[in-house]
Amino acid sequence: MTAVIFRLVTRRCWSDIVAQKYANPSSLLITKISKSFYRGDRCFTTSTEATVGTNRFKNILVEARSDRVGLITLNRPKQLNAINEETQQEVLQALEEFDRDRSIGAIVLAGSDRAFAAGADIKEMANRNFVQARKVEQGGWIDKVSAIKKPIVAAVNGYALGGGCELAMACDIVLAGQGAFFGQPEVQIGTIPGWGGTQRLIRAVGKAKAMEMILTGRRMSAEEAERSGLVARVLPAETLLQEAIEVAKTIASYSDTVVAMAKECVNVADNVPLNQGLAYERRLFHSTFNLNDQKEGMKAFIDKRPAKWSYD
């Protein structure tokens, strides 16, 4: 571990932070930093200890925090975080690694102040034909995102359009900064949503709004998204990331097994009739009584003390 005293810096001054010279700021991987967030091109953090190494990823930043929260930040600022194939693979790899990591209980997925993700990388896909699109299974990666067992909190500032909106909808909780916009504008470039937009958006906001947004490309403000059920809460843009981390931290403070079961039940409700969903919920509810964490949680409640979860 390297003791580091952090201060207000620009992204151009990473070498000042660690008193070492790096050719590329993205070569840094900083883990277990508490209360760090970005405003524009500025990094604000508190003093702490950090492990500094080489970032294995080109298009994302990854942080495994000491509070059991994994943070993934899309990092293609010149492209407004447009999601190319390489970014898809990196996001999936980071998510799957956090999903396997017993020290992580919940995950935050964020972008920049300007854009969570402005969509798929149009330049990469523009000249593909039908066979090529099928071969790379465009859009199939998003199903793997939604299959991650640990809860994912999306922190959406700026644009979440096309694939960016679809990525946010594949997460479990969406928090939006004031000034964020959501949309599925694919019709404007001669195609349709292909990463779940026509299916997940209607479940979030209803057929009327989903149909209008998809057929016209109209953008939905953060406030309208909250009223419509697409977003859990709207927060000041400058505190959005920290609040998303706090939400994930709260989730991660509970039993991993029970949280995963609760997430599974809610997701099942989206896909089955009510009677089947109720039966599924009841079976999982009954099964919790075979967990050590259920015994510990209820005993702790009776004893009026914090529970000590097994995190297994």
- Pick the catalytic residue: 186, 196, 222, 237? 186
32/14 Cα distance (integer angstroms): 17
Q: 296 an active-site residue?
A: no
Q: 118 an active-site residue?
A: no
- Pick the catalytic residue: 105, 119, 158, 163? 163
| 108 neighbors 153 (Cβ within 8 angstroms) | yes
- Pick the catalytic residue: 106, 110, 120, 180? 120
Q: 186 an active-site residue?
A: yes
Burial class (CB in 10 A: 0-12, 13-18, 19+), 197: buried
- Pick the catalytic residue: 119, 158, 160, 166? 166
Q: Which residues contact 249 (CB under 8 A, 6 or more apart)?
A: 67, 68, 69, 106
Q: 120 an active-site residue?
A: yes
71/229 Cα distance (integer angstroms): 24
Residue numbers annotated as active site? 120, 163, 166, 186
